[in-house]
Amino acid sequence: MRFRAFLGLSAILLHSPYVGADYTTTVNAKSNRGTWDGWGTSLAWWAREFGDRTDLADIFFTLKTQTFLGVSLPGLGFNIARYNAGASSWNTYSGESMVQSSNIIKSRQVEGYWQDWGSADPTSSSWNWAADRTQRQALTNAMDRGVTRVELFSNSPMWWMCKNHNPSGASDGSENIASWNLEQHAIYMATVAKYFNDNWGVQFESVEPFNEPSASWWKANGTQEGCHIDVSTQATVINYLRSHLDSFGLESVIAASDESYYDQAVTNLQTIGSTAISKIARVNVHGYQYGAGSRNGLYSLVSGANKALWNSEYGDGTASGLDLASNLLLDFRWLLPTAWVYWQAVDGDGWGLVDGDNDSGQLNTVNQKYWVLAQFTRHIRPGMRILDGGSSNVVAAYDSSSNKLVIVAVNYNTAQYINFDLSSFSKRPADGTAVVRWSTQISGGDRYVQHSSDTTISGSKFWSYFSTNNVQTFEVTGVSL
């Protein structure tokens, strides 16, 4: 969520991705850091306004190159979409209605489906399945373009499930879901998953009932939907949710708990209890601790519990892509997620990949961070095996179906040559074989420039010159582990 204090590169980096001049990195062919599930974005706010835009769907959810806002854009190829089950509605029931924050931003209110507590029957008048049309259209557009992994998530329970009827939070940031509505929230999420499956052909791979639940910033005067939920309460809701998903015959797994910080996720897993953990198939965490926090500590807990791990939400306000690149590399190095999801693909103040106003409907420009992210998303594809790139500023992936090695490297400070050593691979291309590379200048300049013949194999190595704040991707064919 974008209102939090921005830590960015000003934070003390526990595992710095910055490296010295002119060096060699050795890609470890024997390493295995997981099979890549993919890349994605959450729909929610931008889809509420722009869900009908097929051109946005094309650039986010395909690999096609097309002209957008007068610029030739390579598609990002996202294969994951997260759909937000809203918490707002503007009806009155039994004399009661939603309490709205005086600071709420309209685009950050998502209309929910279960609009009063009169009946849990989804065919009753308590439910409005015509709500949230544009976000649903954005999901349809994404799936039509090949999105294969879809998650349902909640920022807050429906307004009437909240103690103060305000889906932005309690006045003091404390727990705001009423104790008598814990099962109701689980029923809501399971019923939405069931209705989407039966009526719109959407099979949610996972259902996440929370969003940054341990955070204390979800307050009644906030700008968006949010709800603090204590860890013990989360455990209760998770148990209810698994029961109701099962009763509907749904195979959707539960993901939790989408904590904002890596350290919050560590505490959550250490305290939520074995019963809840047994019902969680995947741990979702957000990347808003930026350069701080125990990424490796979280990975150890998750892998020890034999759970999957996604960075299910990351965003920052640096339009150049510098913070995005550094934090993504930190995730690959220390967190070891198998998927990575950008929060709002369209947003203002440097947060969007595309700069736009989700309230006025104005699209302005494509931020440089779009091309920085393209270096990763277009080349590290679902099903690839993530390898140890040998350095903190290098990530590698291997496609066994095509015997292709992908290397993405970022150089920050001093311009230098980086040598890539492939000596650990059992088969390598012959001397002189061309290595295709793509280059993006983080601070502006080259956006996504392909070079097909200026880099070649020499023995077990190849090398390339990196200017300051430069990201390059290399594809090496004819490689065997």
Which residues are the active-site residues?
212, 313
Residue type present at position 396: A
3-class SS of residue 420: strand
Cβ atoms of residues 88 and 111 within 8 Å: yes
* Largest CA-CA distance found in the chain, in angstroms, rounded: 78
Angle between helices 322-330 and 368-377 in degrees, nearest 10? 30
Which residues have a Cβ under 8 Å from the Cβ of 307 and sit 6 or more positions away? 277, 280, 281, 282, 283
* b/e code 185-194 from CB counts within 10 Å (16+ = b): bbbbbbbbbb
Beta bridge partners of 439: 449, 472
Structure tokens at 76: 């990002």
Q: Helices H, strands E: what count in the chain?
A: 10, 24
Alpha-helix residue ranges (DSSP H) falling in 251-367: 262-271, 274-279, 295-304, 322-330
Cβ atoms of residues 300 and 20 within 8 Å: no
Please name the helix (run of DSSP H) or strand (run of DSSP E) that holds residue 41, with its range, or none: strand 38-42
Q: Residue 259's closest CA among 296, 234, 281, 225? A: 234
Residue type present at position 243: S
